[in-house]
Structure 1
Amino acid sequence: MVENDIVIMVVRLVLAAILGGFIGLERELHHHPAGFRTHLLVSVGSSLIMLLAFYGFQDYIAENKEVVTFDPSRLAAYVVSGIGFLGAGTILVQGYTVRGLTTAASIWVVAGIGLTVGAGMYSAAIIATVIVVLSLFLLGKVTFRFGTRERKNELSIFVDEQGSQLNELIKIFETHAIKIHSMKSEKQNIYNENPMIEYRLVVEYIEETSLRIAVDALHKISFVKKVAIEKESNETTHI
């Protein structure tokens, strides 16, 4: 291995670290599980494997030209498929909310950027990094709406701990075309009352009347004791 090859490796590994860390910085700022260091390491590791494919077997191939046929892209293919396991670890399911899909996708893209840098395609890697960073920073603030604008609100539903069935509550929202964006539950021990469970939901709906009808239907369920709607002005209405 000549000195020029070492310089090439250093440049590619450093550039991969910069580009991967740049993308990870956005994830770090938004407090996601995989942040700056994770993205940097994935990018550097991918670049290193690509460099290994190019330079790691040169001597062996030179000594066995007649019997060895070597394809550098095979190692890259293993990186692309194997990185899915790391990305899957960032996906969290919390109740009815799935988080981490964007982070998993960014890790997958960073692996590709690292491979691209390792292959010496600097322009493509830099352009891809710019596109990814812009999409994470800018598109994350954009909500796409087609047709009627949906509204979002918070609900607190208090139910008896004994005999309560969550699926009945969910079915009412589904019947009235109300989406459950997220859900949390907490046990409430109120003095002189039976233990209750409080379900805190963030719901999305189109018509205000559909929410009112759904709330009325909730009150008809025997184990539902109280429903509170959190308004946009942070005022709570108990109905």
Structure 2
Amino acid sequence: MEGTYLLFGGITLSYVMIQLEYMLRIIAAGLLGFLIGSERKNRNKSAGIRTHAIVAIGSSLMMVVSKYGFSDIPASDGARIAAQVVSGVGFLGAGVIFVRNNLVNGLTTAAGIWATAGVGLALGAGQYIVGILSAVLIIVMQTLTHRISYFAQVASCGCLRMTIAQKNGAVKNMEEFLEKEKVEIASVKINKNKKDEIKLEFEVIYPPGFDKGALLSKLAEENTVMAVSE
């Protein structure tokens, strides 16, 4: 009968075709992960092409093994391995999230890794249309939100270093100046090297879309500011 031709070791042609179908799913998942990772790489993110591609390939592989690897066991649960991928990838995503000056960075990349795992699971389950369209949606969403200024503008952290003339209330006046410019001060270091000057180092949080160049120009025009840099 068709599909029952023996090749070697008792392996039939139909078995080989099924295995090639599974491999096609894994390859397709890897390509989609590659595309999602390319967008992240272009944004200079820590998790780029290789990370997303491997996550997609691994997730697809886990789904194939979970769904079809235990078909010889009647009471097997095809979802038990795939379910662990969802939580397991969360630990990988946590590695790209860090907090600095009360700002959380890497959340979008972590969410992208988690979503890429979902794409891999969909391809591994044979849900080609769902997996491909989900990958396209992820790429389009990440691309558009960076190109549209309203979505692209986010708060950012930085460091302001300046030397000011030592006068009564000079540090307080400088803090008030930054607060007036809507710049949040996370921490400040004060160093008095000479009698007539004070060196300040501010860890600051800039509001979304803030013009840092304009701030430096304003600071340079202040009479008490002798030098300023970022």
TM-score, with length taken from structure 1: 0.67
Residue 80 of structure 1 is matched in structure 2 by 86
| CA separation of 1:140 and 1:3: change in aligned 2, threshold 3 A | same
Contact 1:151 1:204 in 2 (8 A): yes
Matches within 5 A, 1:196-235: 196-199=199-202, 201-204=204-207, 231-232=213-214, 235=217
| CA separation of 1:187 and 1:88: change in aligned 2, threshold 3 A | farther
Residue 6 of structure 2 is matched in structure 1 by none
Residue deviations 1:39-90 (CA, integer Å, cap 9, x gap): 000000000000101221123x1xxx4xxx2221222211111111111110
| Aligned-partner SS, 1:58 | coil
Give me the whole-angstrom Cα distance separating, in 2, the residues matched to 1:151 and 1:34: 21
| CA separation of 1:10 and 1:104: change in aligned 2, threshold 3 A | same
Amino acid at match of 1:5: I
Residue 118 of structure 1 is matched in structure 2 by 124
Give me the whole-angstrom Cα distance separating, in 2, the residues matched to 1:86 and 1:156: 33
Residue deviations 1:166-225 (CA, integer Å, cap 9, x gap): xx99x9699879463x968788786676773321535339xxxxxxxxxxxxxxxxxxxx
| Aligned-partner SS, 1:199 | strand
Gaps of 5+ in 2: 1-10, 165-171, 223-230
Give me the whole-angstrom Cα distance separating, in 2, the residues matched to 1:195 and 1:143: 38
Quote how far apart the aligned CAs of 1:5 are: 1.6
| Aligned-partner SS, 2:214 | coil
Number of positions where the alignment pairs a residue of Structure 1 with one of Structure 2 = 198
TM-score, with length taken from structure 2: 0.69
| Aligned-partner SS, 1:237 | helix
User: Identity over aligned residues, as a percent?
Assistant: 32
Q: Does 1:141 align with 2:144?
A: no
Give me the whole-angstrom Cα distance separating, in 2, the residues matched to 1:49 and 1:151: 38
Give me the whole-angstrom Cα distance separating, in 2, the residues matched to 1:194 and 1:173: 18
Residue 225 of structure 2 is matched in structure 1 by none
| CA separation of 1:36 and 1:184: change in aligned 2, threshold 3 A | farther
Contact 1:19 1:129 in 2 (8 A): yes
| CA separation of 1:38 and 1:173: change in aligned 2, threshold 3 A | farther
Give me the whole-angstrom Cα distance separating, in 1, the residues matched to 2:42 and 2:213: 29
Give me the whole-angstrom Cα distance separating, in 1, the residues matched to 2:212 and 2:179: 21
Quote how far apart the aligned CAs of 1:35 are: 0.6
Q: Does 1:29 align with 2:32?
A: no
Give me the whole-angstrom Cα distance separating, in 1, the residues matched to 2:48 and 2:189: 30
| CA separation of 1:10 and 1:230: change in aligned 2, threshold 3 A | closer
Gaps of 5+ in 1: 161-167, 206-228
Give me the whole-angstrom Cα distance separating, in 1, the residues matched to 2:128 and 2:155: 44
Give me the whole-angstrom Cα distance separating, in 1, the residues matched to 2:207 and 2:138: 29
Which stretches of structure 1, 4 residues or more, deviate above 4 A after TM superposition? 157-160, 171-177, 182-195
| CA separation of 1:158 and 1:174: change in aligned 2, threshold 3 A | closer
